Amino acid sequence: MKLKQRVVLLAILLVIFIFTKVFLIDNLDTSAANREDQRAFHRMMTGLRVELAPKLDHTLQSPWEIAAQWVVPREVYPEETPELGAIMHAMATKKIIKADVGYKGTQLKALLILDGGQKVVFKPKRYSRDYVVEGEPYAGYDRHNAEVAAFHLDRILGFRRAPLVVGRFVNLRTEIKPVATEQLLSTFLTVGNNTCFYGKCYYCRETEPACADGDTMEGSVTLWLPDVWPLQKHRHPWGRTYREGKLARWEYDESYCDAVKKTSPYDSGPRLLDIIDTSVFDYLIGNADRHHYESFQDDEGASMLILLDNAKSFGNPSLDERSILAPLYQCCIIRVSTWNRLNYLKNGVLKSALKSAMAHDPISPVLSDPHLDAVDQRLLSVLATVKQCTDQFGMDTVLVEDRMPLSHLFSSLKMLFVGHQ
């Protein structure tokens, strides 16, 4: 038998196998997937509390090397992370060897380099825990504690797409100013008895500095992703227009999701489901400011949607910005694994899990009780939205299995045929 004939026969057998798996034993697969989702949930709950400790057992690697090796195209950190406490301890305590203005953006931040060469982004405290940010959902300064809470929610939801974040106290006079660049140092000033800085950013003003309590400033530090994974910025398909009085298409076109599905990278691969996951995540934290998003570069839609910059959240516990869920209720699809996880977290489990996950953070308590209650309440709205979809279209249409789409299979087979012609 010629090589080409053997390849064709092999491809046909592969198609038969896949169709058998999908259509004949799909129910068995679904049950097995549900059981695995439940086991993963229990593993997550068991390892939820992260105690910050300096010791790294059974390795000579630095915390930074371990964290860098965790990053892969579909997750920032793995499900099992016994070294997480040591990495976060290092983020919260390692000596600062350089401080500079933050990377470009609209909000105040500082770029710090810790002992060992690791970059972190420092966001300063602007509000007390019980302060309520009034106005638009994206109003006000960044909330440093929101970055901490969002990271732990990412863990709880099982997404693992947010960079590591931990709270930290820094002494601006003894830890930052001696190692600050001239550009950062020029933005320092004293207000009363407090050391302050205003940095460099689009909205940074000398009249609106962030001030320490004396010299000690509370903030959050976010671990910089490894440079070997360059980022690519994308316009969010459900973003706002930034033009007064002009609506985005999704705000008036009920069939907008159908158009999105025909556009790369949402026409194949996991990106559209990532958008749906992210809308759930953002709704739970009250973040209406994700008008762009990042993935890894040259990914052709295969990379995860990375949950960066989550600080415009947890501003107002009364916020119920349903438009954040537009990708979910317009497309009416959601991953089975996400749906299962959300159901496991109802009846107060989410609030309890989030509170437990953040208990050992250096700036604990990270969130006030009204914000924790709001997350639980918003979860009910997400579940109700999915139920409306399943009532209208059926469970089989709305709940999407986390498996390779058949379109990807056929594309692979086509490449196989072409390669042997």
What are the respective helix, strand and coil percentages of the chain, to the nearest 5? 45, 15, 45
Per-residue CA distances from 122 to 74, 220, 271 (Å): 25, 6, 29
- Cα separation of 40 and 13, whole Å? 33
Q: Which two tokens stand for residue 26?
A: 């799909």
Tell me which H or E stretch contains 370. helix 369-393
- The radius of gyration of the chain's CA atoms, rounded to the nearest angstrom, is 23
> How far is the CA of 116 from the CAs of 22, 161, 212, in angstroms?
49, 24, 26
- Please report, for residues 54, 316, 354, the alpha-carbon distance to residue 285 in angstroms, rounded to integers and kept in the order given: 30, 10, 12
Task: Give the integer Cα–Cα distance in Å for 10 and 8.
Answer: 5
Tokens representing 375 are 């997350």
Check 100, 277, 282, 289 and give the catalytic one: 289
The answer on whether 222 is annotated among ligand-binding residues is: yes
Compute CA distances 419 → 3, 81, 346, 413, whole Å: 12, 41, 50, 10
Task: Say whether 294 counts as a known binding-site residue.
Answer: yes
Strand ranges inside 245-403, DSSP E: 292-296, 334-335, 399-400
Residue with tokens 């789409």: 405
Q: Is 238 annotated as a binding residue?
A: no
Instruction: Note if 37 is an active site residue.
Output: no
> Is there a binding annotation on residue 106?
no
Those residues with Cβ within 8 angstroms of residue 62's Cβ, 6 or more apart along the chain or in another chain: 116
Any idea which residue has 């209720």 for tokens?
329
The encoded tokens of residue 271 equal: 């990106």
Task: Give bridge partners of residue 111 from the DSSP assignment.
Answer: 100, 121
Cα–Cα distance measured from residue 75 to residue 359, given in angstroms and rounded to the nearest whole number:
24
Phi, psi of 406 (to 5 degrees): -60, -30
| Ligand-binding site membership of 309 (annotated) | yes
Side chain identity at residue 359, one-letter code: A
Instruction: Choose among 130, 99, 128: nearest CA to 114.
Output: 99
Amino acid identity of 286?
G
Task: Check the annotation: does 223 bind a ligand.
Answer: yes
SS3 89: helix
123 annotated to bind ligand:
yes
Residue 379, marked binder:
no
190 is in an annotated binding site: no
Annotated binding site: 107, 123, 142, 222-225, 294, 309
Annotated binding site for Mn(2+): 142, 309
Active site residues per annotation = 289
Annotated binding site for ATP: 107, 123, 222-225, 294, 309
